[in-house]
Amino acid sequence: MAGNIRVLIVDDLPETRENVRKLLQFESDIEVIGQAGTGEEAVQMAKEHQPDIILMDINMPGIDGIGASQQITESVPSVQIIIMSVQSDPNYLRRAMMAGARDFLTKPFGGDELVAAIRRVHDKRPAASSAPVRQHRQVTGNTPEEPVVAPEGNLIAVYSPKGGAGCTTAAINLAVALARRGRRTILVDGSLQFGDVSVMLNMKAVTSIADLSDRGNELDQDLISSISQIHRSNLNVLLAPPRPEMADIVTEENIKQLLASLKESFDFIIVDTTSYLSEKTLAVLDMADRIVLIAQQNLSSLKNVSRFFDLAESLEYETQKVWLVVNRAKSKQGKGISVHDVGKALKRPIYGTIPDDEITVNDASNRGIPMVMGEHQKKAISLAIIKIADQIAKELMDGKAPVSHKKEQSEKSKGLFGRLFNRREAAGG
Ligand SMILES: Nc1ncnc2c1ncn2[C@@H]1O[C@H](COP(=O)(O)OP(=O)(O)O)[C@@H](O)[C@H]1O
Ligand SMILES: [Mg+2]
């Protein structure tokens, strides 16, 4: 049949090949067109038969799966390779992805997993070659006759030192609100292992940040268009990898390049950032023009947020870089902490507050429709987020002085401890 996904199975063990073939025999849209027992044979058959997908074992005598993948990717670029391996070591996986593999399966795997991987990789293919390319050069808000000089976009990291504070909720709704105002906005799920954005926006990670890992320096608008997706709010979304293990194939360098590139194409880049301060998270925070720091009205949150402010100071972030937003804001009950108390305790102005409204938040996330655009858009919680979004747009787009980024250039990959330690050394401590 014309629409079939044509698969080549490569493994040195005939028994494994047979098992894999059996797992696929009842899938009406998948056709196993051949089997190869060595890397050399795989390269030969790939050239001859041009399968859509190759299921490639890594450990084989002669040229192994990685070597074969490399040759195939070069000579038959239309073929998509899925690596099969008993190892799930990230370095191994990264090498496989560098060699051009699109996905991997850890042996032993079941039929469902195999079929899902094949369909996912196959679905991804047309997207990579024919995705709608956005007109990045047009700046909204300029009159047509004005020459368009695109200023750099604004990178906003939504961060909280502890999970569960509401970063994802805030990031998604801020991003959608900005997009609905006609701002060219992209939301990046920076929670690479367990990102929630796809669920909350009801989108599938057919393409994801993991697709960056094998593209080296060729990061350009076309690539970004091909791996990001467009939500119906007109928001561009770059999802986290579909599976947690894949997070490790995205390097700090990938992230830096990505963000730098996105700044050329979007007015706003909103990153839903994880709490754990890994080098990747630090890279995002360093590069951010603003950090929306999410706090809540309780002592544990105050303590952690206060520590983050100390850290921000140690990292020499300018004070105005961090915007304090109180989420799940409640009016003070009895001896509770008021929003005003939060600002006082942290000695910072409150940039915005988002009221507590579990029913609306839960309903929106269950439906996969952000509350600022669905039937909840007139609720107090939505209006509060829209207000913050408007404030952000006004402040950052209307010619306010940008926060300087002078520090981060010299601070590469030292980790938090190394960076703080170095700074003390430099200070003679
Ligand atoms: N303003 C709010 N009112 C009520 N519940 C909220 C609010 N903001 C977030 N939540 C809930 O808190 C939990 C954590 O939110 P989430 O956005 O996932 O936080 P994070 O990304 O920081 O871990 C979720 O169950 C979410 O529905
Ligand atoms: Mg989250």
Mean pLDDT across 35-44: 96
Residues 57 and 177 in one domain: no
Residue 326, SS3 per DSSP = strand
Position 146 confidence tier, pLDDT thresholds 50, 70, 90: very low
Residues 317 and 256 in one domain: yes
Is 319 within the bounds of a domain? yes
Least confident of 105-114, 233-242, 262-271, 318-327: 105-114
Residues 39 and 181 in one domain: no
Q: Is the pLDDT of residue 367 over 80?
A: yes
Residues 160 and 79 in one domain: no
Is 120 within the bounds of a domain? yes
pLDDT for position 135 = 34
Enumerate the β-bridge partners of residue 268.
154, 185
Q: Give the strand pairing for 236-238 and 229-230.
A: antiparallel
Q: What is the dihedral of CA 192, 195, 201, 204, to 10 degrees?
A: 70
Nearest CA to ligand 1 atom 23: 164
165 lines ligand 1 (CB under 6 A): yes
pLDDT for position 256 = 93
158 lines ligand 1 (CB under 6 A): no
pLDDT for position 287 = 97
166 lines ligand 1 (CB under 6 A): yes
Question: What is the Å distance from ligand 1's center to 164 Cα?
Answer: 6
pLDDT for position 128 = 36
Enumerate the β-bridge partners of residue 190.
273
Take residue 396 and report the two structure tokens written for it: 């950052």
- 24-54 burial, b for 16+ CB within 10 Å, e for fewer? beebeebebbbbbbbbebbbebbeeeebbbb
Is 426 within the bounds of a domain? no
164 lines ligand 1 (CB under 6 A): yes
Mean pLDDT across 402-408: 53
pLDDT for position 277 = 92
Measure CA of the first residue to CA of the last residue in the chain; give whole Å: 72
Identify the domain boundary among 98, 130, 162. 130
352 lines ligand 1 (CB under 6 A): no
- Tell me how far apart the alpha carbons of residues 424 and 22 are, in angstroms, rounded to a whole number: 62
357 lines ligand 1 (CB under 6 A): yes
pLDDT for position 406 = 45
Is 306 within the bounds of a domain? yes
Take residue 408 and report the two structure tokens written for it: 């981060």
Is 145 within the bounds of a domain? no
Residues 212 and 290 in one domain: yes
- Tell me how far apart the alpha carbons of residues 69 and 80 are, in angstroms, rounded to a whole number: 9
What is the tens place of the pLDDT at every residue in 5-17?
999 999 999 999 9
Is 140 within the bounds of a domain? no
CATH of the domain at 271: 3.40.50.300
Enumerate the β-bridge partners of residue 81.
54, 101
Q: Which atom of ligand 1 is nearest to the CA of 355?
A: 1
Residues 350 and 223 in one domain: yes
Q: Residue 195: nearest ligand to its CA?
A: 2
Question: Which of 169, 189, 201 to mutate to test ligand 1, by most ligand atoms within 8 A of the CB atom?
Answer: 169
The DSSP 8-state label assigned to residue 249 in this structure reads: G
Domain of 297, in residue numbers: 154-401
- Minimal CA–CA distance to 188: which of 282, 248, 255? 255
Position 304 confidence tier, pLDDT thresholds 50, 70, 90: very high
189 lines ligand 1 (CB under 6 A): no
- Minimal CA–CA distance to 129: which of 51, 227, 35? 227
- Check residues 138 and 75 and name the one with the higher pLDDT: 75
Question: What is the Å distance from ligand 2's center to 273 Cα?
Answer: 7
Position 127 confidence tier, pLDDT thresholds 50, 70, 90: very low
Mean pLDDT across 25-40: 95
pLDDT for position 148 = 44
pLDDT for position 226 = 84
Q: Give the chain's mean pLDDT.
A: 86
Mean pLDDT across 83-92: 77
> 58, 66 in Cβ contact below 8 A?
yes
- Minimal CA–CA distance to 312: which of 352, 277, 274, 268? 277
- Tell me how far apart the alpha carbons of residues 162 and 2 are, in angstroms, rounded to a whole number: 51
pLDDT for position 95 = 76
Residues 294 and 393 in one domain: yes
Q: Give the strand pairing for 229-230 and 290-295.
A: unpaired
CATH of the domain at 100: 3.40.50.2300
Is 428 within the bounds of a domain? no
Is 236 within the bounds of a domain? yes
What is the tens place of the pLDDT at every residue in 202-258?
999 889 999 887 665 667 777 888 899 999 898 999 999 999 999 999 999 999 999
Residues 206 and 349 in one domain: yes
- Cβ of 74: how many Cβ atoms within 10 Å? 11
pLDDT for position 423 = 63
Q: Which residues make up the environment of ion ligand 2, defined by Cβ < 5 Å?
A: 167-168
> 222, 207 in Cβ contact below 8 A?
no
Take residue 319 and report the two structure tokens written for it: 């004070």
Residues 182 and 64 in one domain: no
Residues 397 and 257 in one domain: yes
Residue 37, SS3 per DSSP = coil
- At residue 351, what is the residue type? Y
Residues 118 and 174 in one domain: no
> 4, 31 in Cβ contact below 8 A?
yes
Residues 164 and 224 in one domain: yes
pLDDT for position 103 = 80
Mean pLDDT across 262-289: 95
- Tell me how far apart the alpha carbons of residues 178 and 164 are, in angstroms, rounded to a whole number: 23
pLDDT for position 278 = 92
Angle at 353 between CA 349 and CA 354, to 5 degrees: 160
- Minimal CA–CA distance to 289: which of 323, 313, 254, 314? 323
Q: Which atom of ligand 1 is nearest to the CA of 275?
A: 22
Sheet of 229-230, strand order: 229-230, 236-238, 185-190, 268-273, 154-159, 290-295, 322-329, 350-355
163 lines ligand 1 (CB under 6 A): yes
Nearest CA to ligand 1 atom 7: 328
Mean pLDDT across 125-148: 39
Q: What is the dihedral of CA 274, 276, 277, 278, to 10 degrees?
A: -90
Number of domains in the chain: 2
pLDDT for position 422 = 65
What is the tens place of the pLDDT at every residue in 196-210?
999 999 999 889 999
